[in-house]
Amino acid sequence: MAAREKTSRLGAGTTMAQVAERAGVTKMTVSRVLRHPEKVNPETRERVSAAMAELGYVANRLAGSLNAGTSGLVAAIVPTLRHSLFADTLEGISDVISQAGLGLFVSSSDYRSDVEENQIRSILERRPDALVLTGLTHTKAARDLLRNFGIPVVETWETDDDPVDMIVGYSNREAAHAMTVELIRSGYRRIAFVNGPMESNERARHRAEGYLAAMQEAGLSAPPIHVVHHDAVIQPETGAKAIRVLRQQPGIDAVFFTSDVFAVGAILACRELGIDVPSQLGIAGFHDLEVGRVVSPTLTTVQVPAMEMGRKAGHMILARLAGRKLPSRRQDLGFSIISRESTRRGH
């Protein structure tokens, strides 16, 4: 009589053994019905299926995963979910991997590589099938951990010659360079650059390099880079503040922001301050967010393949998990300069 003590509660409590007992078979046969139905006699299969339905059986993947040594999980670490940027990348990953039955595990690191390292440690304990990281800035410990662990790792949002494993993105250096060249081409000369904190984030650093290189190549002197504080949330007000500071400096005729959000805040501030954009001041952003298409004047910006990076990362992972060799560990998806009204200077 103790043999069927748990029969009353459905779902979570039901095990394969209980289903088996009910169907008058062993759990191995139940397992076969789920994994290799063709190997089971149709009548038996029918009985087992009925038993599963009656008991509301839900397989426990944890057990199978333990056996297989793998979890069917792809983990992704993004700096933040608060802006659609990285969420787009996640959507791309999710789209692709879910078709292969893999799930997406997400954490956000708040742009801090020490936090990221801890998250990686904790994630690896879950034995993910693969890991997607944002950017190249990881602690040494994190890199070592990942290299030793041996699962596919995809870095995103940048290109690099020496990724931990694979990489898909675009060149932030070239993108910032191209935008700076575009501003110069439009007739701006004293171009300020407003950037995120560079020490914790190679994307910001590379963009600064691209900007400085372009200025130098054009024989222009670059005003000091204006760095927004890490704690300054990515919001328009931060861009507005930058404008108020930069207008003190003489002769600035354009400002290149590394986020559209900042740039849009700047445009609004200019409107209030009576600074005409683009004739008195050119303004450019980065990322091609919707806000930039909607402000007036519309915002010149760099379009980046946020979603496409996610898809590509997903495909690279699937290929590797399927044992296929990739033509290259590096995928440069490029970027586009979108020239709009905010830099369209009347010549």
Partner DNA sequence: ATACAATAGGATACCGGTAACACGGGAGGA
Partner DNA sequence: TCCTCCCGTGTTACCGGTATCCTATTGTAT
**Which residues contribute to the site for DNA (CB under 7 A)?**
15-17, 24-29, 31-32, 34-35, 39-41, 43-45, 59-60, 62-64, 66-69
> How near is the Cβ of 301 to DNA at its closest, in Å?
48
Rounded Cα distance, 137 and 65, in Å: 31
> How near is the Cβ of 172 to DNA at its closest, in Å?
39
Segment 226 to 255, residues that bind a second copy, using CB under 8 A: 236
Applying CB under 8 A, what is the total number of residues that bind a second copy? Answer: 57
Based on the shown chain and the rule CB under 8 A, indicate whether residue 126 belongs to the binding site for a second copy.
yes
Residue 28 contact, options a second copy, DNA, none, Cβ 5-8 Å cut-off depending on partner type: DNA
| Residue with smaller CB distance to a second copy, 66 or 199 | 66
> How near is the Cβ of 77 to DNA at its closest, in Å?
22
> How near is the Cβ of 110 to a second copy at its closest, in Å?
10
For the sheet with 282-284, list strands across it.
226-227, 191-195, 254-257, 282-284
- Binding pattern for the stretch 297-326 against a second copy, x by CB under 8 A and - elsewhere: ----------x-------------------
> How near is the Cβ of 178 to a second copy at its closest, in Å?
25
> How near is the Cβ of 239 to a second copy at its closest, in Å?
11
Residue 126 contact, options a second copy, DNA, none, Cβ 5-8 Å cut-off depending on partner type: a second copy
| Positive or negative torsion for Cα 188, 194, 195, 199 | positive
| Positive or negative torsion for Cα 118, 123, 127, 131 | negative
> How near is the Cβ of 290 to a second copy at its closest, in Å?
5
Identify whether 224 is preceded by a cis peptide bond (ω within 30 of 0): no
What's the CA dihedral at 171, 177, 182, 185 to 10 degrees?
-150
Based on the shown chain and the rule CB under 8 A, indicate whether residue 294 belongs to the binding site for a second copy.
yes
Beta bridge partners of 73: 103
Q: What are phi and psi of 224, to 5 degrees?
A: -55, 140
What's the CA dihedral at 305, 192, 341, 219 to 10 degrees?
-90
Chain centre distance of CA 320: 19
| Residue with smaller CB distance to a second copy, 180 or 258 | 258
Based on the shown chain and the rule CB under 8 A, indicate whether residue 124 belongs to the binding site for a second copy.
yes
| Positive or negative torsion for Cα 54, 58, 59, 60 | negative
Stated as kind and residue range, the H or E segment containing 186 is none
Burial zone of 36 (CB within 10 Å; 0-12 exposed, 13-18 middle, 19+ buried): exposed
Which residues bind to a second copy, rule: CB under 8 A?
9-12, 56, 58-63, 65-66, 69, 71, 73, 80-84, 87-88, 90-91, 94, 98, 101, 103-108, 121-127, 145, 148-151, 236, 261, 264, 268, 290-291, 293-296, 307
